[in-house]
Structures are given as structure tokens and as C-alpha cells.
Chains A and B, each alone.
Chain A
Amino acid sequence: MASIRIERLTKVFGATRAVDGIDLAIPDGEFVVLVGPSGCGKTTTLNMIAGLDTPTSGDIWIGDARVTDWEPGERNLGMVFQSLALFPHMTVFDNIAFPLRIKRAAPEAIAARVRAVSDTVHVGHLLDKRPATLSGGEAQRVALARTLIVQPSVFLMDEPLSSLDAKLRVEMRTELKRLHAALRSTFVYVTHDQAEAMTMADRIVVMHQGRIQQVGRPLEVYSDPVNRFVAGFFGVPAMNFVEGELRPEPEGARFVAQALRVTLPGYRGGSAPAVLGVRPEHVRLADGRESWPATVSLVEPLGDETLVFLDYGGPSSLVAKVDAEEKVAVGDRRSLTFRLDRVVLFDGKTGGRIPG
């Protein structure tokens, strides 16, 4: 088991700064998810931890050792790749046994260990098969078994579930979470899927343009985003953004936009362009202290909840997530209001959060 520490880690490819001086400390046994859109530097960061990419500058520590210059094989890591990277010319048995053969373990020990590990991930009946004949889920488990067999102190996973269909993905999510609970090893998991990040992580590291935007527990990142990028990245459907201006008031501030005026008691500061953010579940079809008339333009029932698109006179419509019992039809005139304690404000220029 081991903790990981990353200090001012930078990777430059040609003219691109793929990773731009990030600092991160991952305590022993934590399940950390690096999440962000493609090209944000998350996979490059993982590859540098693995030793597959050499940092341009900065340092990586695993446990008490500075491993920046170590060979990948010396770091005692297990990695599951996006493509799974099963060796196509070997049987499942030989695939799982490969790491032990490299370490020159005795054949009897290898056989026993392969059997034990393949039973834990339920691939014991597949040992004679070739990877090409496995289903997506089976291949996934074999890749996992091959990683588990050497009992690494750190597990690195690069979008390992992206090749699975939606249902299997959700199942494997739970299974990986269980595995983590059983092993108590450090997991570093890379994904672009915000749902995977939310459901699996102890802590989420949100990356964008080579930098860490925010580090925090899933609900923290969801409800208390540090900037507009993070706010927009999490949540389906995405947070509603309304561009406007923040104007000072005697007690607090007032957010003014086309067809919308919201009084925000907690906010201080001068007049400035701002963006108001409100999640669909915090938009209500009801009268409030402040409410605005709107027309229902689209209704998307999800079964448990219903998405309602509302034209309120602004440049784009607002999405509200309402109870499935709520009777709404396209063309209805309704009044809409926000849960003011959950509304967030961002600087109109920098996108940074305006504290309130």
C-alpha cells in the first residue's frame, strides 16, 4: 500500500502543455478519480505516475520513494488500460500468469495463484480461451485479474469501462468499488464520464487544460463548484447558466438579466458582469418570493422525474427537473422560481466563483 504525491508536475508535447504544473497528494488507500474532457491532461498524468511518460519537470513520489526516474516495472503498480491490453497471442491463463513469469515465479506457484485470482473475479472457466473470443465483460475481468495477481500497492485505471455497454458499465462500477473496499489499495482512476467519477470516487480531481480545477468529495464538487467549468461539467442535464450583471443593493446584491431579476441577500461587491448558475433540480414550477412567467416548450419524461424546458424570455430556455407526478404539457404557462440558497454566481469574465 502506498500514498502518491505529485509536485509541480509538467508535461510538454511540442507546443502543448498537456499537464501544467499540478500538485496533488493522494493518501494511502484512497479511490481518486481524475476527470475532465478529452485533452485535459488526465491520461498524461496517469501515464507519468505509471512511468510510461517522462515528466518534463516536477516530481512523483510513491510511498516514501521519489520514483520520477524509475522504470515502470519498478514502481509496483497495476494498471488497467482503456483497451485492456490483453495479449492476443496468449490464452487467458498465460495472460494472467505473465506478470509472475516475468518475476520468475515457480510454475506450481504460478498455477495456484492464477487459479485463486481468476476465481475472485469469476474467470476461472475461461482460462483456456483466447482474448479475442471473450465478451467485453469477461475481457474486463481478465484484465483485472492480470493486474491483481501481483498485489500492487497502487492501481491505475485508464477509462477501463469505456468499451462496455451501459448496463455492464454500471455493474462493473459497483464491482470495482467493492474490490477497492476489499483491497484497501490506492486507486487512481481516469475517466471523462462525470457519472463514473461521482459514483466511485472518494475524492474527485477535476482537470481542464492541463490544470487541476478542483479537488473534493463528489458532493462537494457537485454542489460547491469553484468555477463555471466545474459547475457545467457535472450534472445531467447540465446546470442552467444565465448571463447578466450583478448590481449592489442595500442588503446584498441583485442579479439582472434579460427577463430575470434575482435578489441575492448574501452577495457583496460592486457592479460587474456575472453568470448565474442553477441546477435543473433547483428550478421549480411554483410561485415564490420572486417568480417569472414562462412557457413550457418541451417535456422529456424520464420515468422517475421529468425534464421541462421553459422559455422565460431570455436568450435560451431553462431546464427544470420536476417530479414525474407533476402535470405539465407543452404550451402551458407556468411560473418559475429558483431555490435561492442553491443558486451560484460566477464572474462574467474569468468564470471564477463569486463567493456569497
Chain B
Amino acid sequence: MRHGRRALFPLVRHALLLAWTAVTLFPIYWMVMTSFKHAGEWVTWPPRWFPHEPTLVNYVKILTPGTSTFELGRQTLKILKPIGDSLIVSGVGSLLAVALGSALAYSWARFGTGGRNYPYNILSIRMVPPIVIAVPFVVYFVTLRLLDTYTGLILVYVATCLPYVIWMMLAFVEEVPVELERAARLMGASRLRVLRSVVLPLTASGLVVTFLFVFILNWSELLLAITLTNTEVSTLPITLNKFQSANEGRDYGPQAAIGTLATLPVVVMGFLIQKHLLRGFSFGLLRK
């Protein structure tokens, strides 16, 4: 009997996990399928699990140049520019945040810059919900002429990401034994050389993981983007959101296509993070 029960338990566990996976993945599955369907199949009953005639028409619609088209009373937004805007804002914002945040993390970990409570103070930025700071930001940004500009949104993204970067990089920097840096210094290496030859190679995985993490955050950020931009800058989440307020009728196919395209990089990065997280922490093999 014991043997039978032992064989049964993993079976039940796997069945439950599979069921849960199906529940979580279903909306994504439905979105991807819809993006390949003709207009007639978007809302049919009973639902069609697979597109009857798979088509790329939705992708063609959204990927053509321009800002938007009206067709049969439906407004279809084009996403080439939003994709570019999202890449610029998320990419530059994340890069700057990682550069500044990792420098801060290093200097705090090694020299106590800013005092003992510095990382906690920085963390308090995240304790204010974005909705609270969004409107005051508008006021400042009007004065500073930063409203609806790349610079403005990038600055906000850097500020909101810094706490994440600092806290993640703290963990990675603290994995590097101080003695390694001391040994290099004794051999005559300058502080910059120590950073380049010892600290950077040992925290490289951490930098990649942190960058991907904040990039995903920025990539999908909606509230601040929608408040602080208008027509000049328009990121993917904003564009996706605009379909909900389209004049009449819902343009589900192109919307699903945008959703699919917006999800792709995040999924790819998710896999990358997984690989790097493993590598990032494997230096725990260091002799201590």
C-alpha cells in the first residue's frame, strides 16, 4: 500500500500544477490565438480554440507606418512609433538606473556612503504609490517643460527604479568578498582597476539580471506614462490602453496582436533572467 500511495502523490501534485498552469496561461493563449483570427471569429459563440483561417492581417494593420486609420468605424492604432518610444524610454531609463544604482550600491556597501539608513531611505520612494506622485509631477513638468518628452519620462523611470536597482545590486556586491578587492589593491591596482578587473566581472550577471528586471517594469508601466505624456511620446501600454476607448466597436484582433508583440520581449527576458539568476549566484562557491 505504501508503495502505491507514494506513486499516487506526485501524480496528484502534477495534475494540480498542470491545472493551475492552464488557468494562468489561458488568457495569454487566447490573446495569441485572437491575434491570428479574422474579425468574424473574435467574438463567436461557441468560441473557436484555433483560428479557422490563421491570418497575419492584424499584424499588418498595426505595423504599417502612420498613427492611426479608421475603417468601418473602427480606429486602428499603429504601433511602430510606440514600440520605438517604449524601447527608448525603457531602455535608456533602465540603463541609467542600473548605472547610477549600482554605483550607489557599491559605494554604500564598501564605504557606507550616505549613512547606515541610506538604502532604507531610498526604499521609501517605493512606499509612495505612483498615483500620489503622478499629478504633482505634472505640475513640475509643466514648469520644467518636461511634459510629454522622452527626457521627462526617462527621469521619472530612473527615479522609480533606483530603489530596486540599489537593493538588488547590494545583494550582488555583498557576494564579492572584500578581501578580493583588498588583495588586488595590495598588488598595486588602482581603485578603478579593482572595479574593472574584479568587481565588474564578478557582478556582471547581477547587472544583467537587474537591468532585465527594471526593463520589464518600465516596459509595462502605464500610470506615469499616461499621466506625463500626450501625443509626442506614446509607449506601448498607452497604445494598448487606447483601444478600450476606441470610438465604437472593439478592435480585438489588432489589440491582441499588440499585446502579443508587447509580451514577447518580456517572455524572452524572463528566460534570460532565469539563466542569469542561476549564474549570478553560483559564485557562492567562493572560498570564505
Which residues on A sit within 8 Å (CB–CB) of B190? 73
Which residues on A sit within 8 Å (CB–CB) of B179? 81-83, 85
Enumerate B143-186 residues with CB–CB distance to A below 8 Å: 177, 179-180, 182-186
Instruction: Say yes or no for A87: interface residue by CB 8 A criterion.
Output: yes
Q: Is the CB of B287 within 8 A of A86?
A: yes
Instruction: Say yes or no for B136: interface residue by CB 8 A criterion.
Output: no
Q: Is the CB of B287 within 8 A of A73?
A: no
Instruction: Say yes or no for B11: interface residue by CB 8 A criterion.
Output: no
Docked pose: A234 CA to B281 CA in angstroms? 42
Which residues on B sit within 8 Å (CB–CB) of A102? 184, 187-189, 193
Docked pose: A85 CA to B202 CA in angstroms? 13
Pick 22 A–B contacts, CB within 8 A, sort by A: A51-B186, A52-B182, A52-B186, A73-B189, A74-B188, A81-B182, A81-B183, A84-B287, A85-B180, A87-B198, A88-B202, A88-B286, A89-B283, A99-B187, A102-B184, A102-B188, A102-B189, A102-B193, A103-B188, A132-B285, A132-B286, A139-B287
Instruction: Say yes or no for B288: interface residue by CB 8 A criterion.
Output: yes
New A-B contacts (10) at CB < 8 Å, excluding given A74-B188, A79-B182, A85-B177 = A50-B186, A52-B182, A52-B186, A73-B188, A83-B288, A85-B179, A85-B180, A87-B180, A87-B198, A88-B285
Q: Is the CB of A73 within 8 A of B182?
A: no
Enumerate B244-288 residues with CB–CB distance to A below 8 Å: 283, 285-288
Nearest CB on A from B228, distance (A): 41
Instruction: Say yes or no for B201: interface residue by CB 8 A criterion.
Output: yes
Q: Is the CB of A89 within 8 A of B187?
A: no
Nearest CB on B from A347, distance (A): 41
Total A-B residue contacts, Cβ distance less than 8 Å: 67
Q: Output the nearest chain B residue to A132 by Cβ-Cβ distance.
A: B285
Enumerate A137-152 residues with CB–CB distance to B below 8 Å: 139, 146, 150
Docked pose: A86 CA to B179 CA in angstroms? 9
Known contacts A85-B177, A131-B287; is-contact A98 B186 (Cβ 8 Å): no
Enumerate A56-103 residues with CB–CB distance to B below 8 Å: 71-74, 77-79, 81-89, 98-99, 102-103
What 0/1 readout, one digit per residue, does chain B (184-214) give for beta carbons within 8 Å of chain A?
A: 1111111001000110011000000000000
Q: Is the CB of B182 within 8 A of A85?
A: yes
Instruction: Say yes or no for A163: interface residue by CB 8 A criterion.
Output: yes
Known contacts A85-B177, A85-B180, A86-B287; is-contact A79 B201 (Cβ 8 Å): no
Please list the residues of chain B having a beta carbon within 8 angstroms of any beta carbon in chain A: 177, 179-180, 182-190, 193, 197-198, 201-202, 283, 285-288
Closest 9 interchain pairs by CB? Answer: A73-B188, A85-B183, A99-B187, A85-B179, A132-B285, A89-B201, A72-B186, A81-B179, A102-B188
Nearest CB on B from A207, distance (A): 21
Q: Output the nearest chain A residue to B188 by Cβ-Cβ distance.
A: A73
Docked pose: A79 CA to B182 CA in angstroms? 10
Docked pose: A146 CA to B189 CA in angstroms? 14
Nearest CB on B from A67, distance (A): 13
Which residues on A sit within 8 Å (CB–CB) of B182? 50, 52, 72, 79, 81, 85
Q: Is the CB of A99 within 8 A of B188?
A: yes
Which residues on A sit within 8 Å (CB–CB) of B283? 88-89
Docked pose: A68 CA to B134 CA in angstroms? 53
Q: Output the nearest chain A residue to B200 by Cβ-Cβ distance.
A: A89
Docked pose: A132 CA to B283 CA in angstroms? 9
Q: Output the nearest chain A residue to B185 by Cβ-Cβ distance.
A: A72
Q: Output the nearest chain B residue to A71 by Cβ-Cβ distance.
A: B185
Docked pose: A102 CA to B188 CA in angstroms? 7
Nearest CB on A from B51, distance (A): 49
Nearest CB on A from B131, distance (A): 43
Which residues on B sit within 8 Å (CB–CB) of A72? 182, 185-186
Nearest CB on B from A28, distance (A): 20
Q: Output the nearest chain B residue to A74 by Cβ-Cβ distance.
A: B188
Docked pose: A84 CA to B177 CA in angstroms? 11
Nearest CB on B from A232, distance (A): 30
Which residues on A sit within 8 Å (CB–CB) of B202? 88-89
Q: Output the nearest chain B residue to A95 by Cβ-Cβ distance.
A: B183
Which residues on A sit within 8 Å (CB–CB) of B201? 89
Docked pose: A125 CA to B167 CA in angstroms? 42
Which residues on A sit within 8 Å (CB–CB) of B197? 87, 98
Q: Is the CB of A52 within 8 A of B287?
A: no
Nearest CB on A from B205, distance (A): 11
Nearest CB on B from A93, distance (A): 15
